[in-house]
Amino acid sequence: MKKKIYIAGCGGMLGEAFHTQFKDEYELKCTDKDVNADWLSFLDFRNRDAYIKDVVDFQPDYLFHLGAYTDLEFCEQNEDETYNTNTLAVENAVYIANMLDIPILYISTAGIFDGKKSCYDDWDMPNPLGTYARAKYMGERYVIENARRYLVCRAGWMMGAGPSKDKKFIQKIMQQIHDGKKELFVVNDKDGTPTYTQDFAKNVKLLIQKEYWGLYNMVCGGQTSRLEVAREILKILGKENEIKITVVDSSYFSKEYFAVRPACERLVNRKLNIRGCNLMRDWKTALKEYIGEYYKGYIL
């Protein structure tokens, strides 16, 4: 008999990977307020009573709480809505998991650090800078302090699901190339670690199966920057001689991206490495696979 997982907030780029990686071995119920796939059903997890009823009716063995607002500018302009979605809804999830006595998965972020160090391991102390980071960190803390059994997995610069769902840096670069731009303006003052959603979901599955509960950094291998990632994309596409990259600093985009961002969001998977459970591949390998799998025919 297959074990059952309820996945809330499963309509985004990470949800697509979790559905792909877990659907064959587990019985899933995947929900979101945006029903954008035939394997999704509607639930707004901010509605506590509806959330409780839907999960209790399904009687899962695990509760995965994935969804969150991740647009930093939106979060700065809509603080209460951000806390309701990214923090209070997590409290709802912990309540449900404890009530059913099942483990909970919560997704945290490298963005909870202040960027003053060159790299952060699982035991470094977060110091969130903006509304998004603060709301996510408070969600992380609530899970750690209140859930009976939990996995908190911190992702870096997320990439996955392709043009339809990827709202992040890779898609923004790919869109410009798709649109025929011959010059890309890329910042040279932001460091981090790409995180391929498929690798992330596979690594979560391993921890679940081994029952290695706790807090884990979970990012691709290798440290990098926005500039290096953009250069690697052009190299993968064979367009490094066709498209020029003009290096700028973050002030160039200050009107569009006005929310405060840490200069460095680099994580290292120290706990995964010590436990011998690190399935996260080098970011260049993952990026090449991602573009090959999800962007066939997208760039001419």
Average pLDDT over residues 78-104: 98
Contacts of 285 (CB under 8 A, 6+ apart): none
Per-residue pLDDT tens over the stretch 152-189: 999 999 999 999 999 899 999 999 999 999 999 999 99
**Would you state the pLDDT for residue 67?**
95
Each domain of the chain, given as residue ranges in start order, spans 4-162+193-222+265-281
Q: What is the pLDDT of residue 299?
A: 77
Reduced DSSP (H G I as helix, E B as strand, rest coil) percent helix, strand, coil of the chain, to 5: 40, 20, 40
Mean pLDDT of 51-62: 98
* Residue 157 to residue 37: CA distance in whole angstroms: 24
Nearest of 47, 63, 49, 82 to residue 3 by alpha carbon: 63
Of 158, 169, 194, 170, nearest to 17 by C-alpha is: 158
| % residues pLDDT > 70 (the chain) | 100
Tens of pLDDT, residue by residue over 204-250, are: 999 999 999 999 999 999 989 999 999 999 999 999 999 999 999 99
pLDDT confidence band for 297 (50 / 70 / 90): confident
CATH number of 4-162+193-222+265-281: 3.40.50.720
**The pair of three-digit structure tokens given for residue 19, joined into one six-digit string:** 């559905």
Residue 18 burial (CB count, 10 A)? 27
Strand partners, 150: 104
Average pLDDT for 136-160: 97
pLDDT of res. 300: 63
